[in-house]
Amino acid sequence: MVFRLLREMVWHRKGHVGLILLAIMVGVSLSTALLSISINILGKMERELRSYGANIAVTPKSEQLEIDVAGVVYSPPAGASYIDERELGELKTIFWGNNILGFVPFLSAPVRAGEGKIPAALTGTWFDKKVNLPPGSTTGSLTTGVKTVYPFWQVTGTFPDDSGKADVLLGVSLARRLNAKIGDVLPVEYGDKKYSVNVVGLVNTGSFEDDQIIGNLAFVQKLNGLSYGASRVMVSAMVEPEEKLAPEIRNIKPEDMTPEEYEIWYCSPVIQSVSRQIEEAISGSQANPIRQVAVAEGAFLVKMEGLIVLITAFALAISILGVMATLNSAIFERRGEIGLMKALGAQKIQIAVLFAFEAAVMGLTGGVLGYFGGVFLAGLIGEKVFSSTIVPDSSSLPLAISLALGIALLGSLVPVWQATKIAPVKLMKG
């Protein structure tokens, strides 16, 4: 009997059924599309933000006086301390090692460059270094350096290699002051020693590197009489905003946390937790988030997630109202049918179950159709807006069906309640 009534309802009220399915499909399609965008695009956005430079600075933990001026660390000769760049592979063995996208060491020396002996900083670094990773990491090696961590560097000419040769990049501002160009051999003085470097490229970063000479780390270490050592290491790590932490531990210092709270904090990919793990991996180091970068990225991602949630909630609310309005109209037309069922002995609960079942069937159908609509919409948005392919998550179909059933049942609450209140005597008399 129930299936017969359902068949008759669909056959004789195609308009109402179509409007209900359309309302459900719109809400589910938009929700599915936004869910797919949230899963696929926000992660890609976070990775894209990492292309604007490192977000964690690692320096030696030293009691000596050290001053960082425009990227050059000055310290008393006897008190200089360094990070052993040979340990940097340990960064890939920390709990959130997969979130470490790249790292690059720096070591600077104050020199006098050119015939005019202009003061400048000669900075050594890795450009495209293959690092062998220790046991415990997910891969055997990693290629990292400024090409990975600072892909926005604009280089005219070529990058030096990491073999220890005296090839350098010259910052564009310093090149203008020295009247130097690619292919020049530039004399530099460090202390009482004289060297010559080959300018193989010009670099424009829009920052203090534009006034520096940038060579490979091994060459600058040789200048300083070091077999190893870096004055700072810049790390690019995928992290989540601090707002993702549980509210009860969000503003508590790690040393003030209970063991349970500390475990939750330590196992969360927030920048403070990742920094702590970096300090544990690199001996004699201290890791500090670059606050401006971390705060800006976190705020942007939180706002994007909030926008997606708001749009999804609005779409679902509109769908529920659409279902409610359409069912109200349908029930108004079926007053005689409802009155007859009551006159024949149907209970309120039976009438409510009948209408809820009809709504659930339409919700199930609308959910499946809405899922495919959402997949199409997500692909279209990904291609046209983000220039990226969006693949729906495996949980999207069950979620779409659940949302559709929720829309249908919530939208039917008021109409079904009104249907159970209809007085059969008045309807039969009318």
**Residue spans per domain, the chain:** 2-45+298-429, 55-289
Supply 379's token pair. 């692909």
Supply 278's token pair. 């970096």
- Measured between alpha carbons, how far is 80 from 40 in angstroms, rounded to an integer? 45
**Nearest 10 degrees: Cα torsion 149, 153, 155, 158:** 0
Supply 408's token pair. 């249908």
Residue 193, C-beta contacts closer than 8 angstroms, at least 6 positions apart: 223
Give the side-chain half-sphere CA count within 13 A for 396.
28
Give the end-to-end CA distance of the chain in Å, rounded to a whole number: 26
Neighbours of 152 (CB within 10 A): 10
Per-residue model confidence as pLDDT tens for the chain (430 residues)? 555 555 555 555 566 677 777 888 888 888 888 777 776 666 666 666 656 778 899 999 864 445 555 555 555 444 568 999 999 999 999 998 888 989 999 999 999 998 889 999 999 999 999 998 888 666 778 999 999 999 889 999 999 999 888 999 999 999 999 999 999 999 999 988 899 999 999 999 988 899 999 999 999 999 888 989 999 999 998 888 777 787 888 888 888 888 888 888 888 888 889 999 999 999 989 999 886 665 666 666 677 777 778 888 888 888 888 777 777 776 666 666 666 677 767 777 777 777 777 778 888 888 888 888 888 888 887 777 666 677 766 677 888 888 888 888 888 777 777 777 766 665 555 5
For residue 70, the 8-state DSSP code is T
CB under 8 Å, gap of 24 or more: what pairs does 128-131 form? 128/159, 128/161, 128/162, 129/162, 131/88, 131/89
